[in-house]
Homo-oligomer: A and B are copies of this chain.
Amino acid sequence: MRLKPIAVVRNGIRETPKDWDKVRSRLVFEKKYSEGLSKLGHFKHIWVIFGFHKMRHTVLKIHPRHDPEIPLVGVFASRSPTRPNKLGLTLVELVSVKGNIVSVKGLDAFDGSPVFDIKPYEDEIDY
């Protein structure tokens, strides 16, 4: 299946920061998808599915947190980006929705990462 980016991450982050939780990012949506953001502002948290766009290789067993002291686990029992499909999934705080710009806090994605989908945090769906 071919995925097309619906938005791009803008946060100026090019190296792993001390604390991703504090990072603010703008998800700049393709203008043609703006209509799909209607009522998104209702939510306090959303899921972001994005691409690890700089990751090329796949490794099926990894040491969690790059720590050789921690025994190897399968990549599917981890959140490592070395998975067969380079998809990241993170629950983030929704800060604002303005036109085609969705501002969030806590997304662990580098500047320029493609966004493939966002979904409301299900505990907050009340319709």
Q: Enumerate chain A interface residues (CB-CB to B < 8 A).
A: 1-4, 6, 33, 35-40, 42-43, 47, 49, 51, 53, 60-61, 64-65, 70, 72-79, 83-87, 89, 114, 116-120, 122, 125, 127
Contact = CB atoms under 8 A, between A and B. Distances in A.
Given A1-B53, A49-B89, 7 more contacts: A1-B114, A2-B3, A6-B84, A64-B127, A76-B118, A78-B120, A87-B116
* Number of copies of this protein chain within its complex: 2
A88 to B, nearest CB: 9
Contacts of A43: 77
Contacts of A75: 36
Nearest to A5: B1
A interface majority secondary structure: mixed
A101 to B, nearest CB: 13
By Cβ-Cβ distance, the 4 closest A-B pairs, closest first, are A38-B74, A39-B73, A36-B60, A40-B77
